[in-house]
Amino acid sequence: METLTYDLIVIGGGPAGYEAAAIGVSQGNKVLLVEKYALGGTCLNRGCIPTKCFCRSAQVADDVAAAAEFGIMLPEGARMRVDMQAVVERKNSVVSSLAEGVSMLLGGADVVAGTVRFIESHTVEIGDGRRFSAPKILIATGSESARLPIQGSDLTISSTEMLQLQSLPSSLAVIGGGVIGMEFASIFASFGADVTVVEYCKEILPPFDKDIAKRMRTALQKRGVKFHLGAEVKSVEMAEGVVKRVNFAAKGKEQSVEAETVLMAVGRRPVVPEGAAEAGISVGRRGIEVDNRFETSVAGVYAIGDCNGQCLLAHAASAQAALVMGENVDLSVIPSAVFTVPECAMVGMTEEQCKSAGISFKTGKSFFRANGKALSMGESDGLVKILTDDNGLILGCHICGPHAADLVAEAALAMSARLPASSLLSTVHAHPTLSEALTAALRALR
């Protein structure tokens, strides 16, 4: 069978894959991109974007529920109702629109649908038997939802299935207090479901600064979300009717929680193409092993994005793709965000990490309850926390509050550009804006 030759083969059409393919085309390469499901990958079709669509619907639900507080009176007897089919249809429309944009971005590349299998180190085969080779291959196969190896795990659903629900469950149990779990807990609390979170660690959002995680948990508790922390899930079983029972051990006691729907949100695991290990590509526990330039154990073969297990974020995947394709990218500063109510965002080191590493630091905090814009918005819950080193450089910025995901970008830029915190203070910020909370935290540095 004939083997077609390309300059670059990209396996996977998510943020890492389509970014790399587009750059490859702009550089004058003959590029092949192979995608198993749909262009855009998990982020566009089953992750970031669909979830943010749900977040927006949840925000509208919150606004309607609080309308009277802002002097907007609904007709007497009016009752809010969440139409899950309409929520999903809107989400699908947004995803479809963005998918068209990805297709246009890939103009000039050959795009093939199928599952890839490595035949040799630089030769791959698509499911229908066609073979392709290239001196440079980028593996960007992403990740998939993980499941606990427990009895009854088949009674739970993944985040992908949550995004396709056609009716609103009366109750939801979330196994896992990470980013995915917290976003769905926040969304469905806004929709009116009875939500309970069961988390193995002592606090939710393990990678986040403890002050931020605790404040987020407190905010969600005020909205009715219940938490069981330090809880090890043992099994899931059917209870009465359609209700499931999640059994877990916490504080030395066997406990359980019942819910109509159970979401398994315990992280994600890398997807590795078939035949990769046999072709000489080293695969470890976290994913495909790479060096600091994302090259695998096979010269000319790279692994970018979730499949290398280094940083499971869409923007990190895009940045890795750009670096591999020769662009200048600073990968030392990667912000992350949680689109809950209120939002959380972070960049850099946490206080706990600084202490563990023996790094001397100063801390500055400000609270949104003292920010005029936040008060006018009715979103005064939250704080900004900034850490700086002895030279005045920002070590980390941690935010829980309105538009945290947007606000953290200013600190990330300063960190990447190696600007001292004083440069942010000397910059005039418009009033009244949420950005003033950042400067207030800088003034409070101790």
Which residues are tagged catalytic? 431
Cis status of the peptide bond prior to 15, with omega within 30 of 0: no
Report whether 51 contacts 88 (CB < 8 A).
no
Tokens in use for 302?
């790279």
Q: What's the gap between Cα 8 and its chain centre?
A: 28
Tokens in use for 310?
């280094």
Report whether 239 contacts 246 (CB < 8 A).
no
Q: How many CA atoms lie within 13 A of 352 on its CB side?
A: 9
∠234-240-244 over CA atoms, to 5°? 35
Strand partners, 249: 232, 254
> What is the C-alpha separation between 186 and 223, in angstroms, rounded?
9
Closest CA to 40 of 104, 87, 86: 104
Burial class (CB in 10 A: 0-12, 13-18, 19+), 277: middle
